[in-house]
Amino acid sequence: MKNAMTPWRRAGHHRFAGPIVVALALGVVACGPEGAQPSGPDGGTGAATREAALDTMRRATQFMTEDLAYEGGYVWSYLPDRSRQFGEMEAYPTQIWIQPPGTATMGHLYLDAYHATGDEIYYEAATKVGQALAEAQLPTGGWNYMYDFAGEESTQEWYDTIGANGWRLEEFQHYYGNATFDDAGTAESTQLLLRLYTEKDDETFKPALDQAVAFVLESQYPMGGWPQRYPAPAEGFEKDGAPDYTGHVTFNDDVAAENIEILLMAYQALGDDSVLPAVRAAMDAFTVTQQPAPQAGWSLQHTVDDLAPAGARSYEPVSLATHTTASNVEKLLGFYELTGDTSYLDGVPAALDWLDSVRLPEDLWTDDGRQYPTFVELGTNDPLYVHRTGSNVVNGEYVVDKDPAGTIVHYSSFRKIDVLGLRARYEELRAAPVDEVTAGSPLLHQGATIPEYFTTGEISVSDLNVGTLSPADERPSDTEVGELVAGLDDEGYWPTELVSTSNPYAGDGSPTPAEGDYSQTEVGDSTDTSPFTTDDPVVGISTGRYIENMSALVRYVAEG
């Protein structure tokens, strides 16, 4: 689950780009490769700049594959001397990060570059990523946030030290030994294996792909939803007395939508219609979990037995969540486009009416336009706000109350939601002929293909060094490409200020709070290993920056 660090909040989960109908259905696929235009006159140097771009792409990729990759995989950022490296938290040298923008994202970028250039160096790089992911795949078929090539003992040590002391990163405080659907790591890895298999009918990746798709199907609850982690651990992990939340039906960070996308892509690319009942059950899970009016919304998670709103991490209370509700409304509109079934529209007006009813008074609106509370109390419709006391994971505590002052900064208690836009889209779909709405549906008209380009649009990630990777839709100008060419250093990477850092592990936190006020800081005392932004960044190597810059160059050199 993501920590909604303003202003880097993920806008949905992972947003791919390409001419795939799932985009229409789920809102998970962003702008297509229209921006990948053929090179030509645009007021610049044309062919010469294209050659420079191709050379820059090759040099940057050789650095990543030959000097930076570990067993074919990557983390998010590195100090120049490689003395420290980071995913969402500090990583061991033997670890790779699965969570975007990590290993699988790099593989997607390499395939995009291969499609744009035809240069086999990129295809070979993508296959090495696929091999790393196949090695990191758990026996059940999914992936954890990261993988340690040094083995289980090293992984457990990381969780017992760095992971256990990340105050706000409760998902890393316990080693479950199972796979997660959180943060698109399993989804993105599965999609890359699918691309690698279909690219050249390479049977090398088919076993891992089949295992991943089977994992999605096996982990689905009979009611259609999915847990955050699977399989259930032998022993649950309690935090501050609250039971383990990872088995609840999960909507947070688009867990359900990502899995639907995997299954639809398997149907499109492999012709596997056996996945279609699971797709329909998953869509129906959105309708059966909607709460009754007048609080016709959704929670981040719901209990499996009675589908009631459930709590998650200790700063995610039992409540209804406005951003989850808005996201689920968007998904229901997409399901109608997939199926033409009006039952997916039936609950939308009540959900939007509920969102209107909890809009905050104007004096509580934030400067960046957040007008809704994140969490709303069941029954009362009162906003709930999250605060914290203490200084580290040992003595710290999160407190939920109704006081809007002094809320935590790493997970915003306020949201920006476009209710008017959602209502307008609902009315537009209601007014349009059903045949027109469903014209491109892969469920009703099989034949849509998976995207040629996956990283040429917005990729929302958690890496504070780059935030959302959102290159412009249009092809970059010669001038912009010239700046990227000039910005690559002699070693072969784009130097990036690593504004995200963390305290090195220095032992477990003290039971006695340190001096100072940590109620509104990103990080606690010196024993807190959570990432935070620094005013004194080191210039280093960023995987996210490589992806962002290479994506721009892919759009520039691609033959449309």
**Which pLDDT tens digit goes with each residue over 260-293?**
999 999 998 998 999 999 999 999 999 999 999 9
| 118 Cβ neighbours under 8 A, 6+ residues apart | none
Q: Which domains does the chain have, with CATH numbers?
A: 16-557 (1.50.10.20)
**What's the mean pLDDT in 470-481?**
78
348-357 vs 419-431: helix crossing angle, rounded to 10: 160
The pLDDT score that the predictor gives to residue 466 is: 80
Lowest mean pLDDT among 382-386, 441-445, 554-558: 441-445
The pLDDT score that the predictor gives to residue 48 is: 87
Q: Which ranges of 145-204 does DSSP label H, i.e. alpha helix?
A: 152-160, 185-200
Summarize pLDDT for 326-349 with one digit per residue, the tens: 999 999 999 999 999 999 999 999
Q: What is each CA distance from 315 to 43, 318, 374, in whole angstroms?
A: 52, 10, 11
Pair 134, 208: CB distance under 8 Å: yes
Higher pLDDT, 11 or 48: 48
Does the pLDDT at position 559 exceed 70? no
Q: Which residues on adjacent β-strands are paired with residue 538?
A: 498
Does the pLDDT at position 29 exceed 60? no
Does the pLDDT at position 522 exceed 70? yes
Pair 390, 524: CB distance under 8 Å: yes
The pLDDT score that the predictor gives to residue 42 is: 44
Burial class (CB in 10 A: 0-12, 13-18, 19+), 559: exposed
Summarize pLDDT for 290-310 with one digit per residue, the tens: 999 999 999 999 999 999 999
Lowest mean pLDDT among 34-48, 401-415, 452-466, 536-550: 34-48
Nearest to 323 by CA among 421, 252, 249: 252
Quickly state the pLDDT bin for 399 (edges 50, 70, 90): very high
Cα–Cα dist 325/42, whole Å: 44
**What's the mean pLDDT in 468-492?**
85
The pLDDT score that the predictor gives to residue 114 is: 98
Cis peptide, bond prior to residue 294, ω within 30 of zero: yes
The pLDDT score that the predictor gives to residue 23 is: 39
Summarize pLDDT for 130-151 with one digit per residue, the tens: 999 999 999 999 999 999 999 9
Phi, psi (degrees; rounded to nearest 5) at 499: -70, -15
Output the average pLDDT for the chain.
90
In this structure, is the dihedral angle defined by the CA atoms of residues 399, 462, 371 and 425, taken in order, positive or negative? negative
**What tokens does 281 get?**
């059950």
Assessment of whether the complete model's pTM goes beyond 0.75: yes
Pair 532, 502: CB distance under 8 Å: yes
Cα–Cα dist 120/123, whole Å: 5
The pLDDT score that the predictor gives to residue 47 is: 85
Phi, psi (degrees; rounded to nearest 5) at 92: -70, 155
The pLDDT score that the predictor gives to residue 474 is: 76
Report the Cα–Cα distance between both ends of the chain, in Å, rounded.
37
Does the pLDDT at position 430 exceed 60? yes
Give the side-chain half-sphere CA count within 13 A for 505: 18
The pLDDT score that the predictor gives to residue 94 is: 98
Phi, psi (degrees; rounded to nearest 5) at 270: -110, -10
Cα–Cα dist 506/87, whole Å: 19
3-state class percentages of the chain: helix first, strand second, coil last, to nearest 5: 40, 15, 45
Pair 13, 25: CB distance under 8 Å: no
Pair 457, 473: CB distance under 8 Å: yes
| 161 Cβ neighbours under 8 A, 6+ residues apart | 505
The pLDDT score that the predictor gives to residue 475 is: 86
| 176 Cβ neighbours under 8 A, 6+ residues apart | 229, 233, 237, 246
The pLDDT score that the predictor gives to residue 31 is: 32
Pair 160, 236: CB distance under 8 Å: no
Q: Is 97 helix (H, G, I), strand (E, B) or coil?
A: strand
